[in-house]
Amino acid sequence: MRTLAKALTLSAALALPLTGGVAVAEEQAASQESGKSQCAKPVKLLDGANPMQGWHMAGPGSFSVEEHGVIETQGGMGLLWYEAEKFEEYTLHLDFRLLDESNNSGVFVGFPDPGDDPWVAVTEGEEIQINDNPGGDPQKTGAVYNEKPAATRASNPIGEWNHYKIVVRDDAITVHLNGTQVNHWVDDDPRVDLSEGYIGLQNHPPTSVQFRHARVHESCH
């Protein structure tokens, strides 16, 4: 039965369209393991019906709501953080899209309540970088910012959607990009406590980055 379940999961994943296929395939695989490491129901952070519900903007700039539940960075530098809930030992899934090679953003994890100060996430959390500019900032997509670069490049071409799977467990962050593990970082910064914290998205001027389909699976205890 275990072999059959895995075969069915693989068949379903191969039948998926390319765009969003990695995200759905990983969610199906997660459901197969629900009795082991994943809770049954994910927490939807970006819901298509009302994507900004539960979020709070800290600092300058904003996020605009586009079609189909997509949000897009505007101005900055600020932080859109999910204030409705903080998380312990979880897997974060989300899609992002760079509209130009100069675009820059990031996903913050493991930071305390920042209120209206976006720099709390910078100094007391960790950022998983979004940046495919061949020049400029040497920190590229998949890097844990200023901690560890991505092991390999796995980004889709500019203008196409990418899928992040970010696992935060104990004091470690594991980053998967489009189905490829690109980073594993054991945090040794005494200012950062990854055991519990909030999730945030960076708006980095003057660029625009889009996000969609963000959800969290917390580990069961």
pLDDT tens per residue across span 184-200? 999 988 889 999 999 99
pTM of the model: 0.81
Q: DSSP strand E in the chain: where?
A: 43-44, 55-58, 62-65, 71-74, 78-82, 90-98, 104-111, 126-131, 161-169, 172-177, 180-186, 198-203, 209-218
Judged against a pLDDT cut of 60, whether residue 21 lies above it is answered with no
- What's the CATH number of domain 39-218, 2.40.30.10, 3.40.50.720, 2.60.120.560, 2.70.98.10? 2.60.120.560
Q: Which of 163, 79, 84 is nearest to 124 (CA)?
A: 79
pLDDT tens by residue, 69-82: 999 999 989 999 99
Give CA–CA dist 116/138, Å, rounded.
28
| Residue of 59, 77, 73, 58 lying closest to 198 (CA atoms) | 58
Burial of 118 (0-12, 13-18, 19+ CB in 10 A): buried
CA distances (Å), 218 to each of 42, 87, 184, in order?
7, 7, 19
Measured in residues, the chain has a length of 221
